Amino acid sequence: MGNIVAIVGRPNVGKSTFFNRLIKRREAIVDAVSGVTRDRHYGKTDWNGREFSLIDTGGYVVGSDDVFEAEIDKQVELAIDEADAIIFMVDVESGVTGMDEDVAKLLRRVEKPVFLVVNKVDNNARAQDAVEFYALGLGDYYTVASISGSGTGDLLDAIVEALPQKEEVEEEELPRFAVVGRPNAGKSSFINALIGEDRYIVTDIAGTTRDSIDTKYNRFGFEFNLVDTAGIRRKSKVKEDLEFYSVMRSVRAIEHCDVCLLVMDATRGFDGQVQNIFWLAERNRKGIVILVNKWDLVEKDNKTAKDYEKQIRKEIAPFTDVPIIFISVLNKQRIFKAIETAVEVYKNRTKRIKTSVLNEILLPVIEHNPPPAYKGKYVKIKYIMQLPTPQPQFAFFCNLPQYVKEPYKRFLENQLRDRFDFKGVPVSVYMRKK
């Protein structure tokens, strides 16, 4: 299971620069996928082989500084609740401010590892100035310069050291389907409608993380765990509409599932937050099924399902090979279709294609449509195989992998999709030197 590290602090101390610095390093390697930069506040990074998710809480706050006073408390509380470790960032140029003191007061009560990070320390004089941050009562601090990255190594060593080692609980490996979406889209009602018929429930497992509830479910001769991210809410703590909260929840659920059922409200459309959750699932290479709920409330004359679907596909391009199902939880319309589809997507995600079949089918196609020549050099693809990963990834071995550009990779991906059905599943295509 992934650890979550949250970055908190008042505006303009350099949280985003620091965040981008850590994520970029990783994205350049792993996530050379278009659409990656759509959601700038969440990402994965790794250090010394330990992978963790990083959340920049500042990215979720809009508005002026006075609005921020109230917001920052909320963010810090969320980080305290949800993250495994917290980076509290301050800025040596402005020294200790009242707002820093407020945050420190909240963080002093926390049982979790808190790292006080003094940013913008890029010379010796500033390193001397940083001493005043001892006043925050959080013990030792780390000095960094986000812009150049100096000091981040020591900080990351300490963070990775402090992160709880999560035991991998390998009970029985049932497929996990996570029901995600923004608040009030109908996630819980969807789950209740499914589970309403008690005889299908096998057991209730207490949530693996304390905020998502797993239900073991057996239907169509298929057994799986249903993860409800709506889970247990502590109403008092946070106003439900806080975007950050639902994103945090979705992050955990998405990282540990096989297929995401993304429930959206037809009357609100495929808006920014739904898109964030979609790209989150895509970037984690999970299976995805989009469920358009409350379809019964939409005026049908101006919005046919076809137009609506077209609109969504436009937003999720280039990854358009995703099932979209119109449901009404209230009228129990197409709810089981949703589950059947999730099962199909799960099977697509775990599909293994024999090397001999791949080569037999795709090499002739490639011969007909070779990659465009680059600077007078011709790329020859000799051999294809599927990599032994949990989700579909294919290696195409050729003489000049560096000359194969994005559009041609997309062509190859589409050929794979046309011939082997990977509906609902991100497919990765790698060029390798023969």
Q: Could you give the CA distance from residue 220 to residue 41 in angstroms, rounded to a whole number?
A: 39
SS3 152: helix
Is 295 assigned to a binding site?
yes
CATH fold label, 4-162: Rossmann fold (3.40.50)
Low-confidence ranges of the chain (pLDDT < 70): 1-2, 24-41, 58-71, 166-172, 196-214, 219-220, 230-249, 302-303
Q: Could you give the CA distance from residue 225 to residue 258 in angstroms, rounded to a whole number?
A: 10
Is 34 assigned to a binding site?
no
Is 32 assigned to a binding site?
no
User: What's residue 14's pLDDT?
Assistant: 84
Is 185 assigned to a binding site?
yes
User: What's residue 206's pLDDT?
Assistant: 38
CATH fold label, 176-350: Rossmann fold (3.40.50)
Is 58 assigned to a binding site?
yes
Q: Provide the residue ranges of all domains of the chain, joining segments of one domain with +.
A: 4-162, 176-350, 355-433
Is 11 assigned to a binding site?
yes
Is 186 assigned to a binding site?
yes
User: What's residue 255's pLDDT?
Assistant: 82
Query: If DSSP states are collapsed to H, E and C, what string results for 55-101?
Result: EEHHHHCCCCHHHHHHHHHHHHHHHHHHCCEEEEEEECCCCCCHHHH
pLDDT tens figures, 182-238: 777 888 788 878 776 543 344 444 333 334 566 777 766 778 888 777 543 444 444
User: What's residue 208's pLDDT?
Assistant: 34
CA atoms within 13 Å, Cβ hemisphere of 149: 8
Is 407 assigned to a binding site?
no
User: What's residue 212's pLDDT?
Assistant: 53
Is 236 assigned to a binding site?
no
Is 294 assigned to a binding site?
yes
Do 176-350 and 4-162 fall under one CATH topology? Answer: yes
Is 47 assigned to a binding site?
no
Is 105 assigned to a binding site?
no
pLDDT tens figures, 335-385: 889 999 999 999 999 999 999 999 999 999 999 999 999 888 999 999 999
Extended strands (E) in 229-351: 259-265, 287-293, 324-326
SS3 132: helix
pTM, two decimals, is 0.67
- Report the CATH superfamily, name and number, of domain 355-433: K homology (KH) domain (3.30.300.20)
Extract the tokens encoding 50.
């330990």
Is 298 assigned to a binding site?
no
SS3 212: coil
User: What's residue 104's pLDDT?
Assistant: 93
User: What's residue 64's pLDDT?
Assistant: 47
Is 4 assigned to a binding site?
no
User: What's residue 199's pLDDT?
Assistant: 36
Is 10 assigned to a binding site?
yes
Q: Could you give the CA distance from residue 43 to residue 30 in angstroms, rounded to a whole number?
A: 12
Is 331 assigned to a binding site?
no
Is 13 assigned to a binding site?
yes
